Structure 1
Amino acid sequence: MRMHFSTAAAGFMLLAGVGAAAAQDVIIAPEQETVIREYVEKQPLASVKIPGVELNIGSTLPDTVELHEVPDTEYRYVVVDNRTVVVDPGTRKIVKIIQ
C-alpha cells in the first residue's frame, strides 16, 4: 500500500511541476521590448474587437485573430480595443500589453 501511495504522490508532484512551469510568465528582455515598442509605433495597425476575450497577460487569442510579425523577435502583435498586445505565436497567449 505504501508503494502505491509513493508512486501516486510522485506522479502528482510531477504533474504539479509541469503545471507550475506552464503558468510561469514570459519575460521579454528589455532590449527586445525596446525593439518591439519601436516597431509597433512605426507599423500601426487598425484596432480590432474580440468579443469574449479579456485582455490580460496569459489570455489566449482565437485563431481568427491575425497576428503580425515583429522582425528580429519570436513574437507577434495585434491591436485590440486600441491596446497593442504582444503574443507568443506558438500558444497565442498574450505575453505583454503595451499601453
Structure 2
Amino acid sequence: MKIHLTTAAAGLLLLAGVGAAAAQDIVIQPEQETVIREYVHKQPLASVKLPGVELSVGSVLPDTVELHEVPSVKYRYVVIDNQTVIVDPSTRKVVEVMQ
C-alpha cells in the first residue's frame, strides 16, 4: 500500500510541474494582437535572414537582431524570412510568429 501512495504522490507532483510549466507560456491578449497587427501593417520592416535559427515559439533570438517597439505594448517585433515575429524583449524569446 505504501508503494502505491508513493507512486501516486510522484505522479501528482509530475502533473503539477507540467501545469506550472504551461502557466509560464506567454499568451498575447486579442486586443494586444490587434494593436500589434495594425502597427506592423503601418510600419513595415525589411526582412532579415537568420540562417540556422528556427522560428518557433520559445526560440531565442540572438542579440544581433534589432527588435522594434510597438507603442503601448510590452512586446517587440522583427521581420525574419518574411515572417513577422513577436518577441519578449526581456528574454528575447519568440512569443508568436504571425501569419
Q: What range is the shorter-chain TM-score in?
A: 0.7 to 0.9
Q: Percent identity?
A: 76
Alignment partner of 1:58 is 2:58: yes
Q: CA RMSD in A?
A: 2.3
Alignment deviations for residues 7-37 of structure 1 (CA, whole Å, 9 cap, x no partner): xxxxxx7xx94xx548832001100110000
Alpha-carbon distance in structure 1 between the residues aligned to 2:44 and 2:21: 34
Alignment deviations for residues 57-79 of structure 1 (CA, whole Å, 9 cap, x no partner): 00000000000001000000000
Q: What SS does structure 2 have at the residue aligned with 1:35?
A: helix
TM-score normalised by length of structure 1: 0.77
Count of equivalent residues:
87
TM-score normalised by length of structure 2: 0.77
Q: Which stretches of structure 1, 4 residues or more, deviate above 6 A after TM superposition?
A: none
Unaligned ranges ≥5, structure 2: 1-12
